[in-house]
Amino acid sequence: MLEKCLQKMCDQNLDGVLFASSANFQYLSGCTSYFWQRSCMNNIAGQFTSKINPEALLYCTKEGKITIVCIPSLKNHFTNHSVIVSYMDQMEDTLSQVIDGKRIGIGFDCKEWIETTLKEVDSTIETVYAENIFDDLRCFKTEKEIEEMRKIAKFTDEAVLHLVENLKEGMTQFDTEQALMQYGLDHGIQDFSFPPTAGFKTRGTFTTEENYIFPRTSKLVPGTAIAFDVGYMNNGYCSDWGRTVYFGKAPEYVVKGYAALQAGQVAMVNQIVPYKTNVNELYDMILEEVTKLGYRDHLKYKEEGMLGHQIGIDCHEFPMLNRQTDFILKPGMIFCSEPKMMFEGECYMRVEDMILITETGAEFLTNFDRSLFEVHND
């Protein structure tokens, strides 16, 4: 893996890369015990960053020498690498002993601090934005990574099933989301890919203008659809999962709509041919099946063909799934497909699965019961 990363650096004529705690930090260091705050939008729009000043930095030279500079409380996380202990107010002085190049690739996290600090280390240093330098390497998972993601996908299935089996009338949306978090914490999960969502929509209580408004004080009563979006993180890898369940008896056309959405997801996965299928074809595979079953008008994002994203160290990784992205699916890729339907004034419906590309096709890593829709807990 490191050799491929060094080739990427060579291709961009970089003397080294310097990353604060981030997906690239984990990817280069191989360390999954060090916690760094994930932001599910970070790799899509660069909208969020976890910290302004770093508590840990990784510098990799073009020859492959990795040095980690970190505060004292973190030093035991990085036993496989050269570690220099520093303090947050001494990071600049410490880096001056580490940086040995003139053209340095940097990422998004702590970007302004790193740019300023490198100029203080050497005013002739040129910084190059390199947040996405390893994206097309990271999208192909090793067997070890795949195993970790199998585990976290299975755990997510189990966590939501436990919650669904214990839904009670009168619970608020906030209660439900907190229960999902507590289940993870009680079972030793390291963190969350993003805050869990359990969007309540009770038929007859909202207008079409309020389709996407989900007050966390909403209470669970019969006739409520719950749109789940849940992601846990453990051992350095993320899950991202979605389903809708209906508390009580659902209208028949809504029940059939959910079945159509699930059928579209399954049909898409069954059609994937490794080394041939392009990510820009996936949405239309779902659209074709949903249309055949009479629910085309309810499927969202038909113009954009927006469907999902890759997943791994970060929740949202390259390449994205839409009609504009040109990328052939190959073994080792894991992506999240999240088709959605809207039943105006009735419910917001979603399905999201983690899907692994194999040598012979594609495999669901999330296997939550696709027929489980109506929930009748006493």
Residue-wise pLDDT tens digits, 264-297: 999 999 999 999 999 999 999 999 999 999 999 9
* Fold for the domain defined by 139-375: Creatine Amidinohydrolase (3.90.230)
Of 299, 312, 304, 296, whose CA–CA distance to 349 is shortest?
A: 299
pLDDT at 3 over 80: yes
* Fold for the domain defined by 2-137: Creatine Amidinohydrolase; Chain A, domain 1 (3.40.350)
Q: How long a stretch of residues is the chain? A: 378
Cβ–Cβ under 8 Å, residues 57 and 74? no
Residue 39: the pLDDT is: 59
Q: Are strands 334-337 and 353-357 parallel, antiparallel or unpaired?
A: antiparallel
pLDDT at 42 over 60: no
Residue 289: the pLDDT is: 98
Q: What is the DSSP letter of 226?
A: E
What whole-number distance in Å separates Cα of residue 184 and Cα of residue 195? 12
Residue 41: the pLDDT is: 47
What whole-number distance in Å separates Cα of residue 188 and Cα of residue 371? 29
* Percent of the chain scoring above 90 in pLDDT: 86
Cβ contacts of 45 within 8 Å, gap of 6 or more: none
- Fold match flag (2-137 vs 139-375): no
Angle at CA of residue 355, ends 349 and 361, nearest 5°? 125
- Predicted TM-score (pTM) of the model is 0.93
pLDDT digits (tens, 9 = 90+) for 129-156: 999 999 999 999 999 999 999 999 999 9
Question: What six digits make up the tokens of 348?
Answer: 């917001």
Q: What is the DSSP letter of 125?
A: P
pLDDT at 50 over 70: no
Residue 78: the pLDDT is: 93
Domain boundaries, the chain: 2-137, 139-375
Helix (H, G, I), strand (E, B) or coil at 158: helix
Cβ–Cβ under 8 Å, residues 234 and 190? yes
In whole numbers, what is the pLDDT of the chain averaged over residues?
93
